[in-house]
A and B are shown apart, each in its own frame.
Chain A
């Protein structure tokens, strides 16, 4: 009798036993499912592996289709970059937090900007009122950026910046600060998020309509491939899509569909795919369902590798391999019994590591209440260090490979994601699918289902709809002083009075002319930044030329 037949026979016997047992005691639930509501079977066996070809579908770390990871030694070579997203208040305050983080063993910086900065308004703009320094640091000009990185040698750290619509401007400021430190752009390492498509569907910090936004992105790809070769020019983000409520498979699908749109735009602009694709990077969410998340990361690598090879004909292995940053899922943090969040973050950290992430931000326990304090950030960072140094999860590569469950879920997520991508292709690509509201609707439906499942008790959130306690208001939360808005306005006034306004005007005029034509805008923005033109002034020039995006409101 063959192996398969033996297993089939064994399974039949097992099923018969189960049927008997169920007659006496039913299971906890009628149907079992993952965190994303995909059905989960009672048991997975080698029969679930039927039809899978190890060499072709799974393969080896550092080789196509990269299911098992993008490097050949993974964490045996070095750990992922422990990169804590931080920034609040003024450049001075945030600079202090970065130095604290570096002293505690973070290995890369990650800058959070406040909303006015992310949307291209100066701190003294009417719409900035009440928002300055709140969700990140306020940056109005190169002068603030110089303070932000004061005493931090830019040839020694890698810096990730969560900036999208005005990504060119902040990248230009970073390059200009490095120049002042005597560090050439070829020495700079880091990432700009620069992913506008997910802003339209999930995160909301858009400025310009899709077409000029895609041009700004393509200009960055082209500029960096020559001048800032070690910079990750985009971080194509599923994180916010998931936070907005999507399922794991939708996270993969919509992120990769966005990725396809960026590659398409760059190829159409005349770039060679292997010139820019090696610097594309990704950003995913690590949610609660450990195995589904690991399967998601593995599936994402395989889908991207296939797309790049088969659709775009990329040849450089670096163009095919999906490198990604991960952040633990903010939406899973509860305001109730916040210490429990430490445990959630630990599980999510393990998911990211077992999924082969290249860098990781762990959320702090108090983030459902406010920005994190230094003490809670330390625990979040220690969580990564404990997984790295104590858990043993890092000693071999892709340890969950071959699990009947994880492999079949990896296949399932790939299949679901590819079906979505085909649907989006049918609509004319991600930009069109977003314009008609398809992606937004899919995400919202999943978010609503999730909330209803929590309210019906079908989904348990410990401390929220089960195991609640009476608790007093949380103590010791971080507060951002509202005076920051006034301080930034005062700084701006001084800046505008003290700089060479002739140089600013001519730089902005040159930018305006460039925006009308089709020159690469990066050098023009860099010149404006060097002249201390403010972020708001630069974005206003582009607003006037490009117009502003009008959100499609969907319920």
Chain B
């Protein structure tokens, strides 16, 4: 049997807005993925260690507080430090368009902003996994 796609949905930083993260988590689960949701206030260190421990294929992070430019790249750095290069990392939240190129350069594969459909996110994940095949 094919292994299910494993996703860590994470809320980095102090932001408490988790409606989006939870809706995404549930829709990924309904799409047949195995989802681990971290809960609020995760440090980049906690997110990276959870991703290694849970052996996930994907990390999906959500920030609505504006701290994305600090926290998203920090997660990428820590992954690199651990030698992890086969995990797909995506982000979402209230993120100005002009910040997206910088986040992508840091290694965030895609950034989903308000109004994104869960179906698009599911498609993106399925089509861009790094570990499959």
Using a CB–CB distance below 8 Å, which chain A residues touch chain B? 115-116, 118-119, 121, 127-131, 134-135, 199, 203-205, 243-245, 331, 333-336, 368-371, 444, 447-448, 451, 454-455, 461, 464-465, 473-474, 477, 479-480, 482, 551, 553, 555
Q: Which of the residues B35, B96, B98, B115 comes within 8 Å of A555, measured between beta carbons?
A: B35
CB distance from B10 to the nearest CB of A (A): 12
Measured CB to CB, the closest approach of chain B to A168, in angstroms, equals 20
User: Does B70 sit at the interface, judged by CB under 8 A?
Assistant: yes
Contact B97 A129 (CB under 8 A): no
A477: chain B residues at CB < 8 Å are 96
B 9-39 to A, binary, CB cutoff 8 A, 1 in contact else 0: 0000111111100110111010000010111
Give the size range of B's interface with the partner. Answer: 35 or more
Would you list which residues of chain B between 14 and 66 have a CB under 8 Å from chain A?
14-19, 22-23, 25-27, 29, 35, 37-41, 43, 65-66
- CB-defined contacts of B94 to chain A, threshold 8 Å: 368-370
Q: Which residue of the partner chain, among B15, B22, B70, contacts A115 with CB atoms under 8 Å?
A: B15
- The CB with the most chain B CB atoms within 10 A, among A116, A448, A464, A482, is that of A448
B128 at the interface (CB under 8 A from A): no
A331 — which chain B residues lie within 8 A by C-beta? 19
| 8 A-B pairs with the lowest CB-CB distances in the bound complex, closest first | A204-B16, A130-B70, A473-B97, A130-B67, A115-B14, A134-B66, A553-B39, A335-B114
B117 close to chain A: CB less than 8 A: yes
User: Are B65 and A555 within 8 A (Cβ)?
Assistant: no
State which of A127, A134, A371, A480 has its C-beta within 8 Å of the C-beta of B43: A127
Q: Which chain A residues border B14 with CB–CB below 8 Å?
A: 115-116, 118-119, 121, 127-128, 131, 205
6 contacts between A and B (CB under 8 A): A115-B15, A116-B14, A448-B22, A448-B26, A473-B98, A551-B41
Complex formed: what's the CA distance from A480 to B96 in Å?
Answer: 12
- In the complex with contacts A204-B17, A455-B119, A482-B23 CB distance below 8 A: no
Given known pairs A130-B70, A204-B40, A335-B114, the reply for A448 and B23 (CB within 8 Å) is yes
Cβ-defined partner of B19 (8 Å) among A116, A245, A369, A455: A245
CB-nearest residue of chain B to A130: B70
Give A369 to B97 CA distance when docked, in angstroms: 9
A464 contacts which chain B residues (CB < 8 A)?
115
Contact (Cβ within 8 A) B97 A551? no
Contacts of B117 in A (CB 8 A): 454-455, 465
**8 Å CB contacts to A: which residues of B101-123?**
113-115, 117-119
With both beta carbons as reference points, the residue of chain B lying nearest to A119 in the complex is identified as B14
Cα–Cα, bound, A128→B16 (Å): 14
Within 8 A of A (CB), among B48-97: 65-67, 69-71, 94, 96-97
Roughly how many angstroms separate A348 CA and B41 CA in the complex, as a whole number? 32
Bound CA span A454–B14, Å = 29
| Given A244-B18, A474-B97: 4 more A-B contacts, CB < 8 Å | A115-B65, A127-B43, A204-B18, A204-B41
Chain B neighbourhood of A243, CB < 8 A: 19
**Chain A residues with CB below 8 A from B13, complex form:** 115, 130-131
Across the interface, do B23 and A447 meet the contact criterion of CB distance under 8 Å? yes
Are B22 and A447 neighbours in the complex by a CB distance under 8 Å? yes
Does B27 contact A370, Cβ atoms closer than 8 Å?
no
Give the Cβ gap from B48 to chain A, nearest Cβ, in Å: 16
B70 to A444, Cβ gap below 8 A?
no
A477 to B96, CA, bound (A): 8
Complex CA distance for A121 and B14, rounded to whole angstroms: 10
Q: Is the CB of B23 within 8 A of A451?
A: yes
Q: Which residue of chain A lies nearest to B119 when distances are taken between CB atoms in the complex?
A: A455
- The answer to whether A130 touches B69, judged by C-beta atoms less than 8 angstroms apart, is yes
Contacts of B40 in A (CB 8 A): 204, 551
One of A199, A336, A455, A553 near B16 (C-beta < 8 A): A199
**Bound Cα distance from A479 to B18, whole angstroms:** 23
Shortest CB distance A537–B (Å) = 18
Residue of A127, A135, A199 ringed by the most chain B CB atoms within 10 A? A135
Q: What's the Cα separation between A129 and B12 when bound, in Å? A: 11
Residues in A neighbouring B113, C-beta threshold 8 A: 335
**Does A444 contact B22, Cβ atoms closer than 8 Å?**
yes
What's the Cα separation between A118 and B14 when bound, in Å?
9
Q: How far is the CA of A393 from the CA of B30 in the complex (A)?
A: 46
Separation of A462 and B40 alpha carbons in the complex (Å) = 31
Query: Which of chain B's residues has its CB closest to A116's CB?
Result: B14
Q: Decide if B67 touches A203 in the complex (CB within 8 Å).
A: no
Find A451's partner among B16, B37, B70, B118 (CB 8 Å cutoff). Answer: B118
CB pair B115–A336 under 8 Å, yes or no, is yes
A517 to chain B, nearest CB (A): 30
Closest to B71 in A: A130
In angstroms, Cα B114 to Cα A333, docked, is 9
Closest to A553 in B: B39
A487 to chain B, nearest CB (A): 16
B65 contacts which of A131, A473, A551 (Cβ < 8 Å)? A131
CB distance from B21 to the nearest CB of A (A): 10
A244 partner residues in chain B, CB cutoff 8 A = 18-19
